[in-house]
Structure 1
Amino acid sequence: MSEEILQQVHDAQQQLRRAGILTTVTGEVALSYHGVDVAIHAIELCVPSNARTRSMNVLATSDIEYEVLPSIETPDFYHPYKSGAACFRIPSAAGGIELHLVTDAALGFVLDAQMIESGLEPNEAHAELKELCRGTNEATLLRIAWPSMAALLNGALALAAQNPSSDLEIIYLMQAERLVDANTIDEEWCSQHIADERCRALALQLLAAKQQRQVQSDWS
């Protein structure tokens, strides 16, 4: 199934692009793109909040024949942002993997073109993404829209800051921590890419904890 995932991401994004809808991959596939070692249970695409209904209609009536499933009412503990996400099954994919449409508001940001990266070359992919790249032709990989590291991290930090002293704060800080640990960032990067003071303070705390973990690892 892993060899099909990026092809399915590409095909769904193409359907939305043709309708003039801005989109990027998110969720576990996006975390893999940014070097996080994570199991992939579903394909997630982010769309603007004001394009949610139109995006659902585009996929429901596309020639790919997605199977429309009920929207997610009660997401699992680790994916609270999926509450209300539109849900489809891809019958043509091995195992019938699901495709979830998540709004940018649910992810803690406002989606715009500056947040999106494309032009992925297989030899430049993080090791965590290379298995997904296998079997996907290069032209397809080049067209996939990915969220920037700054977009994902800012979103997770914003959601954590909005839910202090709660399980939600812990969940979103865990996601932010995984991004911080998987990438080379420092205080200067945080100053340049994280404008909100609360979010930047959280990022610096995660960065300090990462440095402490590295020191402890060196001692062992």
Structure 2
Amino acid sequence: MIEIGEGNVSERAREARYEALAGWAARQGVSHVATAHHADDQVETFLMRLNRGSGVAGLAGIRKRARISALEVIRPLLDWRRAELAELVEARGWMSVDDPSNRDPRYDRARIRAALIEADWLDPEAIAASAAHLADADTALDWMADRIMAGTVRAVGDRLALPADLPRALALRVVARLLGQIGEGAPRGSEIARLCDALAAGKVATLAGVVARPGKGVWRFGKAPERRG
């Protein structure tokens, strides 16, 4: 029996929710869906990912705009605190929905939420601002990676060659794009990082149907040969 970890369950539940929302939006002819993510959600997400050793993209946290499961999502309340929104809801006489899993200590987010109540020395607004700064850095890395793909990556025979001396953060972005262009599936960031580390150590590596080989000043990427049954 395969035991599915908490992260897998949470991620699959999230994907299912957005897929359901995308289906509803398509049937209703709705182009955008707004969610009620707020500043406290941003802080919890930042700390969860910090505790997992996430990189810039992960630490950038929740974005104000995103495309998820063919759905355009906007989050207009990210600058608001949970308590402020609760006061507004109560003043309007609206009934809020309570999800019991938000208090279930089996989940990272619930434990972090409980710890934040006790950690009054932390400044949630400052943490949320740091996530916003990292989102800016993430956008800058994407901007540069797109330009490297367009102007620096070159074809060498049936392979694509990438300079081996790129800063690691940029190399990870560009390699992810190369794998998406010629490979199969969508590897996780940790898998791409291990591939880059192997290349930097002078080793041949395979991921998502792509074989990557280190060379003199370059890394070369091509389709991996089909496995014989």
**Greater Rg over alpha carbons, structure:** 2
Query: How would you bin the TM-score normalised by the shorter chain?
Result: under 0.3
Larger relative contact order (Cα-Cα within 8 Å, sequence gap ≥ 6): 1
TM-score by length of 1: 0.24
